[in-house]
Chains A and B, each alone.
Chain A
Amino acid sequence: QVTLKESGPALVQPTQTLTLTCTFSGFSLSSSGMRLTWIRQSPGKALQWLARIDWDDDKFYSRSLKTRLTVSKDSSKNQVVLTMTNMGPVDTATYFCARIRDGGYFFDYWGQGILVTVSS
């Protein structure tokens, strides 16, 4: 059974760096073809893809946020970490991690999401 769960702070101050962790089970990110991604959803708004990390440690970022994002993995712990620098109120959103289907271009399993509010 594949599960993913996001963890991290619920509240972040403006200009701070956000660090989120996705802990997953039911698959190994060390297995060839496995990929995991981060997606966010601002309140009442659409989904926005943020970043992706692959089994071979290849990393890809949203063009609009590339300079602020870093994604990394610890396959031994079944965890992926996303950091986003210089947080602002517009970054208030629910952040999801999701698995990308092996060989596909879609997200077959999602975490429950974590709401992060940026406010002083």
Chain B
Amino acid sequence: QSVLTQPPSVSGAPGQRVTISCSGSSSNFGAGYDVHWYQQLPGTAPKLLIYDNNNRPSGVPDRFSGSKSGTSASLAITGLRAEDEADYYCQSYDTSLSDWVFGGGTKVTVL
């Protein structure tokens, strides 16, 4: 069971907007630690998608955006495309565990 909670799956038609939630607690998000998001295409390593809540590394399309409020965070994908089909993971640091923690992952399906 993951420290950060994500829905197992979300889906949307091409062009639609989907959001992925990531629920934390007072010992991670609530303690001020940021959320980061990774995209994992099938058979590949995770790739940094969003860092420090809402920043995109160079090369990541602005269709991807992130936010964090209190003990929750979310990733939004607008203008959904077939190549966005992947697993998405949120990540933070947990001060009570002294561990870097991940969500269980959300599989995005493009209908």
Binding site for B on A (CB under 8 A): 37, 46-49, 52, 60, 62-64, 96, 101, 104-113
Task: From A46, A49, A104, A112, give the contact of B45 (CB < 8 A).
Answer: A112
> 6 smallest A-B Cβ distances: which pairs?
A106-B36, A49-B100, A110-B45, A47-B102, A46-B104, A106-B51
Q: In the complex, what's the smallest C-beta–C-beta distance from A22 to chain B, in angstroms?
A: 12
Task: From A105, A108, A112, give the contact of B100 (CB < 8 A).
Answer: A105
In the complex the two chains form, what is the Cα distance from A107 to B90 in whole Å? 12
Say whether A46 contacts B103, CB under 8 Å.
Answer: yes
Interface locus among B14-22, B67-75, B76-84, B91-99? B91-99
Q: In the complex, what's the smallest C-beta–C-beta distance from A47 to chain B, in angstroms?
A: 4
Say whether A49 contacts B46, CB under 8 Å.
Answer: no
In the complex the two chains form, what is the Cα distance from A108 to B37 in whole Å? 11
Known: A105-B92, A110-B46. A49 touches B101 (CB 8 A): yes
In the complex the two chains form, what is the Cα distance from A106 to B48 in whole Å? 8
Q: For B33, list chain A residues within 8 Å (CB).
A: 105
Say whether B91 contacts A106, CB under 8 Å.
Answer: yes
Q: In the complex, what's the smallest C-beta–C-beta distance from B52 to chain A, in angstroms?
A: 7
Task: From A46, A109, A113, give the contact of B2 (CB < 8 A).
Answer: A46
Which of chain A's residues has its CB closest to B45's CB? A110
In the complex the two chains form, what is the Cα distance from A62 to B52 in whole Å? 22
Q: For A52, list chain B residues within 8 Å (CB).
A: 100
| Most B-side CB within 10 Å, residue of A49, A52, A106, A110 | A106
